[in-house]
Each structure stands twice: as C-alpha cells, then as structure tokens.
C-alpha cells in the first residue's frame, strides 16, 4: 500500500448554503455567508432571491465565494403590479424553498423551471401551503411546476407533511414557520427519509433565530464541506489504496450525510479527525457490509453502492425508494448503468441488492440522465478502468463546478504509471516528455534506456546480436519497472510484439495508444535524423503498411485509451498541446467546458 497522502480541498455544501440564503432573506438585516460553493443550484437561488427583492453581493474567491445578504428592497416600488417570474432552472431545492418563501410576500409570482424540474413532484408542498392559508394554483400540469403564487399570505397553524419522498417539503415549511401570523406546528409523517437534512434545517433556524440575530446585528456563517460531494473523491482514493486528507472537514450537527463515514469504517477504513481535516486510510482488504440503511444518506448512498459493486459480492441497501424522486430515478439509473459494468443488480420494492460481476465492461458508455450525482459516482469505476466514458460530464456544474479538475488531481495523486504505445514515429517520446513535465512525473524512454544500458545504438546492437536478442533485452528492462512509480514510459514501436511484454505492460499502468496513419508516419520518419530505426531505412511507406497489419491489432487489444490523430500544423509545440488536451478530456474531462487551460 502506498504511504503518500492526498491533500484534498473539497467543495462546500450547497444544501446548507441554500438554506442559509433563504434564512438571511427572511430574517433581514445583514448576513455574511462565507465559503459558499459555486454551482448552478446556488446560482439559481441567488438569482431567484434577487428577483424577489433581496440585495445580494457576491465576492468571488478561487475555490469558493463569500456572499453578503443585505436589506430587502420594497417589492411594491420595484415591481408595482407586475407579475414576478422566477426560473428555478434544474434546482429542486431552490424550487421548493422559493415556493414557500414567495408565498409570504403577498405578490403574484410565477415559479417555473427546466423541463427536468417540471417532471418532479411538488403537489404535497403546494397542498400544505394552501392549507396554511396561501393561494397557489398550477399553470400547466397539476402537481408540477409551473405554479402561480397569488397575493395571499399563509396564516399558519398545524400541518402534517410526509417525508416519504423528500425532507425538503418539511424544511421549506420550517423555514417560513417563524414568520407566519399564527403559531405553526409541522408534524412529519410516514417513513422519515432524509431526516438528517430536516434536522440540519432546524439547527440553522436556531442559529438565525430572533433571539440571536437582533435588529441591526449581522449574522455570520461559514459553510462546511459537502460530505456527499467529497464522498466520490474519498472513494476513488481508498479504492485505489491511497490515504486522503479531506481539508477543512470538521464533522458537526450540520453535516446531514455523516453516517457515510460510519459505513466506510465498517468496510475497514480508518477515519480520524485532525486539526486540518479528516484523515481517511484505506483497508488492506474491504470488509463486507452486507446491509446498508439509506434513510439518512440519500446522496452519499450512491457512493457506498458503487464501492460495494466494485469490492463486495453482495450488499442489500434498504430504504431507497426516495431515490426515485431526485434529478432522475436514481434507483433505475444506477441499476441500468451498473449492469453495463457487469455488476449484479436486483431492485425489489424499497431495496437494491448489488454485487460485483465476474467481468467488467471496461469500455462502457455511462448515461448520466442529466443528473450531476450520476456523473460523479461513475467517475469512481473510471478511476480503475479509464476507458469507461461518461456522457454529458459537464452536468456536474449543478453542484460542483470544479469536480473534474479535482478528479484530475486525485488520479494523478494515485501515482499510476502511464505507458505510451504506437507505431514508430507516432510521437510517443515528445508527447511523453511534455506529459511528464505537465503532470510532474518521471519520464522513461524505453529505447534510450536500452542504449544507455548496452552502451551502443539499437541499430548496432541488432547488427551484432539480432532482433530476438534485442526483444529479450527490451523485455528484461520492462520488468525492472513497478506499478505506481509515477512514471510515463515511451515504448518502442515493437515492444508489444513479445507476448510476455503485453502482460507486463498491462500490470504496469494505463496504456495509451497513439493512433497515426502510415502516410503521416512516413513524413515523421523521413525527418528522423537519429538513424535509430534500422528496419525503416528504405521503402518506408511499404514497410510501414506491412508493420501496421501486424501491430495495430495488438495496440488496440492492449490499450486503455486511444488517442486519435490530429491534423498537424507546422507548430510542433502547439500540436503536442492539442494532443494533451484530447487525452486529458478522455482521462479527466477537465477541458469539456474550457474551465481548465494547459
């Protein structure tokens, strides 16, 4: 097991940020929300509150932002008798909390959202608000957005609300309850799913209570780390036998998903609190869980399910029915996509049973269903099988804008080796050198290592001892390298011809095949002044075509990632950067939205 520790600075909690924003708007005065995360959901909340008359100033920082919520603007003066239209985008939390908040404003407000959000149920919250005295009607399909909030403020009273599908209905009502005319009692009914999130809401309300936030007195809160978002990077580290320090993670009553750590401890991970964060060490072997109760971990349960699918024979996860009412039907989505990886999955009533399969489809294409958590959870198996592809990876923008950049840092922290294979003249050496520089890896050129060791050129050695002896020596050098040495190896074009080399290379690390056409290779080789390819000195094009027939099937069989050829320019440095960008998009997706630059 590697002894290095990956230091990880995770995203902050969007769920706590959105609750804090609504509370700041309700209580008035000035509130300082520090270290809030970036993301579409928080942006949607800020935009909605601004439209509803709240003055919000955002101060950008590198990994987070500080938000100042100030005085209310007079809606009568700003909008007169106009209808206020709010678009909650694809943010479920925003739609539910803003619906409750807007009901208290005595204005006509139309609340809508994306096509995906319109499919999600809202009827129970609308019914509850109407029972408390609001007047809310549906604009299109009953039970779904868009809705019209008419100018009729709810008075309050006693209300029953189910937490079977989500705790956010109860949280939305709790946020506005202190501001209703009558004393308001919220009684939760049914099987209490996600109760931990409801408890977080009540804890925040206490922090913002009138006793603590007096007139003209400011309120400050620092947003804690988001456990659910951090769980994916944690899982990647421990699955790949690497210790991880989750910086700034201090577990408290505000952390709704903290039971996640109870389960990874049961699997054998060591979890310890330090002054700078949470230190998590992987087990030598994952212990079987057998059973998981998802009641209090509605988001991080996906991470636990994935760890089980990759490490355990059979695990049954109960109390999962609420996962059907998220950004997508996550139960069905997980079942469909895990099966693509070869996992054994069975859905039954309120449970999902998962077990690792005998064979993984290492080239599976994962559908994310426009759900940020589906993209992030399937990055866990991608860390082991890099040829897995995740469709629409930018969907993570909803909650974790820098996820793929953090994923890139995590993968490179694992110290995996990368091996470049391909035809002679395909540019393996120049690309490997630049990758080593960019990723802070050691660079190994297999041919140069041979020359240094034998103290003669490859051409001279072959003339003296023949090809068979050369291949044996080449194989012997390959066997001196070990996995996880943080090296990038540029191999000779024929290294894959010896059968035993193939198994050695597969064990060493991630194999990247540089695809290049024979005509392009001919141009490269004619410029090659090293005179180091004795078999390609005459009739280059014909020989390359013959070699291609023999070698290309072997490259394709051994590769983890294929790098397609590019239309080259006269600027070699620029072309290498383009190749690296294409490669990093396959490995890390960090260039998908141009948020990362080489």
Residue 595 lies in a domain: no
Task: Report the pLDDT value the prediction gives residue 476, as an integer from 0 to 100.
Answer: 95
| Same-domain status, 287 and 205 | no
Task: Report the pLDDT value the prediction gives residue 194, as an integer from 0 to 100.
Answer: 79
| Same-domain status, 440 and 521 | yes
| Same-domain status, 361 and 232 | yes
| Same-domain status, 430 and 374 | no
pLDDT for 463-509, tens place per residue? 999 999 999 999 999 999 999 999 999 999 999 999 999 999 999 99
pLDDT for 26-37, tens place per residue? 988 889 999 999
| Same-domain status, 182 and 52 | yes
In this structure, what CATH number is given to the domain that contains residue 540?
Answer: 3.40.50.300
Over pLDDT 70: what percentage of the chain? 90
126: phi then psi, degrees, rounded to nearest 5? -60, -45
Mean pLDDT of the region 63-90: 81
Residue 593 has pLDDT above 70, yes or no: no
pLDDT bin (cut points 50, 70, 90) of residue 1 is very low
Name the 3-class secondary structure at 402: coil
| Same-domain status, 306 and 213 | no
pLDDT for 99-132, tens place per residue? 999 999 999 999 999 999 999 999 999 999 999 9
Question: How much is the pTM?
Answer: 0.90
Task: Report the pLDDT value the prediction gives residue 424, as an integer from 0 to 100.
Answer: 86
| Same-domain status, 395 and 455 | no
| Same-domain status, 243 and 180 | no
Q: Which residues form the domain of 461?
A: 417-587
How far is residue 5's CA from residue 237's CA, in Å, rounded to a whole number?
A: 9
| Same-domain status, 375 and 511 | no
Structural Rg of the chain based on CA atoms = 29
Pairwise pLDDT comparison (568 vs 305), residue with the higher score: 305
Tell me how many degrees the CA angle 317-369-194 measures, rounded to the nearest 5. 40
| Same-domain status, 408 and 421 | no
In this structure, what CATH number is given to the domain that contains residue 214?
Answer: 3.65.10.10
CA torsion sign, 410 to 416 to 422 to 426? positive
pLDDT bin (cut points 50, 70, 90) of residue 594 is very low
Task: Report the pLDDT value the prediction gives residue 254, as an integer from 0 to 100.
Answer: 87
Name the 3-class secondary structure at 292: strand
Q: Which of 413, 429, 460 is the last residue of a domain?
A: 413
Residue 353 has pLDDT above 70, yes or no: yes
Task: Report the pLDDT value the prediction gives residue 517, as an integer from 0 to 100.
Answer: 66
Residue 491 lies in a domain: yes
Q: Which of 354, 383, 413 is the last residue of a domain?
A: 413
Task: Report the pLDDT value the prediction gives residue 518, as an integer from 0 to 100.
Answer: 60
User: How many helical (H) and strand (E) elements, i.e. helices and strands, does the chain have?
Assistant: 23, 25
| Same-domain status, 359 and 386 | yes
Residue 40 lies in a domain: yes
Nearest to 53 by CA among 96, 117, 98: 98
Residue 57 lies in a domain: yes
pLDDT for 506-552, tens place per residue? 999 999 999 986 666 656 555 554 445 555 555 666 777 888 889 99
pLDDT for 125-167, tens place per residue? 999 999 999 999 999 999 999 999 999 999 999 999 998 888 9
> How many domains are contained in the chain?
3
Task: Report the pLDDT value the prediction gives residue 538, as an integer from 0 to 100.
Answer: 55
Residue 79 has pLDDT above 80, yes or no: no
The structure tokens listed for 248 are 């700034």
Residue 594 lies in a domain: no
E strand or H helix at 417? strand 417-422
Residue 194 lies in a domain: yes
Burial class of residue 147 in the structure, from the number of CB atoms within 10 Å of its CB (0-12 exposed, 13-18 middle, 19+ buried): buried
How far is residue 470's CA from residue 367's CA, in Å, rounded to a whole number?
A: 46
| Same-domain status, 180 and 235 | no
Residue 598 has pLDDT above 50, yes or no: no
pLDDT for 394-449, tens place per residue? 999 999 999 999 999 999 999 999 999 998 888 899 999 999 999 999 999 999 99
How far is residue 239's CA from residue 61's CA, in Å, rounded to a whole number?
A: 32
Residue 592 lies in a domain: no
How far is residue 254's CA from residue 18's CA, in Å, rounded to a whole number?
A: 13
Residue 3 lies in a domain: no
Highest mean pLDDT: which range of 66-80, 379-393, 562-576: 379-393
How far is residue 346's CA from residue 353's CA, in Å, rounded to a whole number?
A: 5
Q: Which of 413, 448, 473 is the last residue of a domain?
A: 413
């Amino acid at each position: 097991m590697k002894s290095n520790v990956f230091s990880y600075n995770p995203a902050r909690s969007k769920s706590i940020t959105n609750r804090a924003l609504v509370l700041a708007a309700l209580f008035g005065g000035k509130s300082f929300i520090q270290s809030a995360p970036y993301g579409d959901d928080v942006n949607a909340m800020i935009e909605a509150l601004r439209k509803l008359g709240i003055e919000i100033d955002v101060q950008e920082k590198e990994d987070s932002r500080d938000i100042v919520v100030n005085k209310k603007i007079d809606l009568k003066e700003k909008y007169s008798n106009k209808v206020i239209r709010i678009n909650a985008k694809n943010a479920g939390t925003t739609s539910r909390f803003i619906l409750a908040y807007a009901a208290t404003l005595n204005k006509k407000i139309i609340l809508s959202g994306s096509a995906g959000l319109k499919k999600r149920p809202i009827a129970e919250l609308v019914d509850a608000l109407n029972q408390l005295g609001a007047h809310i009607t549906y604009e299109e399909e009953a039970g779904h957005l868009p809705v019209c909030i008419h100018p009729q403020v709810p008075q309050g009273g006693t209300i029953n609300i189910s937490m079977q599908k989500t705790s956010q209905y109860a949280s939305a009502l709790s946020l506005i309850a202190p501001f209703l005319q009558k004393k308001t009692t919220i009684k939760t009914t049914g099987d209490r799913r996600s109760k931990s999130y409801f408890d977080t809401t009540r804890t925040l309300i206490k922090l913002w209570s009138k006793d603590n936030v007096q007139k003209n007195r400011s309120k400050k809160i620092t947003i804690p780390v988001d456990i659910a978002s951090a769980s994916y990077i944690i899982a990647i580290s421990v699955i790949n036998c690497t210790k991880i320090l989750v910086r700034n993670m201090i577990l408290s009553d505000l952390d709704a998903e903290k039971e996640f750590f109870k389960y990874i401890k049961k699997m054998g991970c060591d979890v310890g609190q330090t002054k700078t964060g949470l230190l998590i060490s992987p087990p030598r072997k994952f212990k079987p869980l057998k059973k998981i109760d998802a009641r209090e971990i509605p988001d991080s349960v996906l991470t636990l399910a994935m760890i089980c699918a990759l490490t355990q024979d059979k695990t049954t996860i109960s109390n999962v029915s609420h996962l059907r009412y998220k950004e997508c039907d996550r139960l069905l989505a997980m079942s469909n996509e895990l099966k693509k990886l070869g996992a054994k999955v069975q859905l039954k009533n309120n449970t999902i049973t998962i077990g690792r399969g005998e064979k993984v489809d290492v080239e599976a294409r994962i559908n994310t269903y426009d759900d940020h958590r589906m993209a992030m959870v399937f990055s866990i198996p991608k860390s082991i099988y890099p040829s897995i592809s995740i469709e629409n990876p930018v969907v993570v923008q909803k909650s974790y804008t820098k996820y793929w950049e953090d994923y890139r840092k995590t993968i490179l922290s694992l110290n995996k080796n990368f091996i470049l294979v391909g035809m002679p003249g395909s540019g393996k050496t120049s690309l490997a050198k630049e990758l080593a520089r960019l990723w802070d890896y050691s660079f190994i050129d297999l041919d140069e290592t041979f020359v240094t060791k034998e103290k003669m050129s490859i051409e001279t050695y072959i003339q003296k001892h023949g090809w068979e002896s050369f291949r044996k020596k080449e194989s012997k050098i390959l066997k001196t390298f070990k996995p996880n040495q943080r090296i990038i190896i540029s191999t000779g074009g024929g290294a894959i011809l010896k059968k035993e080399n193939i198994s050695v290379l597969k064990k060493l690390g991630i194999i990247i095949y540089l695809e290049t056409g024979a005509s392009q290779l001919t141009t490269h080789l004619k410029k090659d002044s090293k005179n180091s390819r004795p078999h390609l000195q005459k009739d280059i094009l014909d020989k390359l075509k013959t070699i291609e027939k023999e070698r290309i099937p072997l490259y394709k069989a051994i590769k983890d990632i294929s790098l397609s050829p590019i239309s080259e320019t006269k600027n070699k440095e620029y072309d290498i950067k383009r190749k690296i960008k294409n490669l990093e998009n396959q490995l890390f997706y960090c260039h998908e939205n141009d948020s990362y630059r080489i």
